[in-house]
Structure 1
Amino acid sequence: MGPDKSLAWILPPDLARLRVLEQWVLLLLEAIRARIAEAEADQRIAAAARPGAVEAPVVQWAIQYGIGRDRRAILVHTGDCRLTSGRTRPATLEQVRDALRQPGVDPCDICGAGRELGLTDP
């Protein structure tokens, strides 16, 4: 994607000054990202300090169930897998291991649940 022609008037024509501007913009971007991280941390701290604030439990494992009458377990995911659906429920490590002993239940290849459980090579 090339530079926007409407902004060409603001940029210097020579390479040396363009490189200086490039470095300045990168430093500015780094400073902005640091400030965003600080603001997010402040927001989390403020939310935790509110009376009655309860942090959502961290889900480490999830089991995805199939469609149909029996709705059997079909996949095991890590808690942060992006492939989970509305048919996925939080599970304990023990429930996950029990599910994987059932025929037709596999660890998710996307999130690497098998690697996390030590079932496949890294």
Structure 2
Amino acid sequence: MYDLPPDLDRLRTLETWLTLTLDRVRQQIKDVEQRQQQPEPEPPPAPPRRPRTPDWGITQAGIGTPTTQIHRGDCWAAGKTLQPITTERARAELGDGAKPCDACRPDRPLGMPPPQP
């Protein structure tokens, strides 16, 4: 097995080292057992989800928007005032004279005729 030192001084030193090491191992065992007995902390709550991008939106006439406009939901030109609307309402608004956005052209996928100049 292992060759041990032949003299008493080195044997006593080895004994001391082994005793200290055994004490550290036993303390670590106690610490791990205590952690295992404690309930696991709950994970932090998930961040809130972004609202779903609407398929269609409307911007009302006002400052910066001379007429009511219909947009696709992901249109970059819609600004922050885009109000989500249904496909049926988008078609109805376009039929009633709302202007389709020149950037996203919602009239095309909605099957509406192009606006007359």
Higher helix share: 1
How high is the TM-score relative to the length of structure 1? 0.46
- Higher alpha-carbon Rg: 2
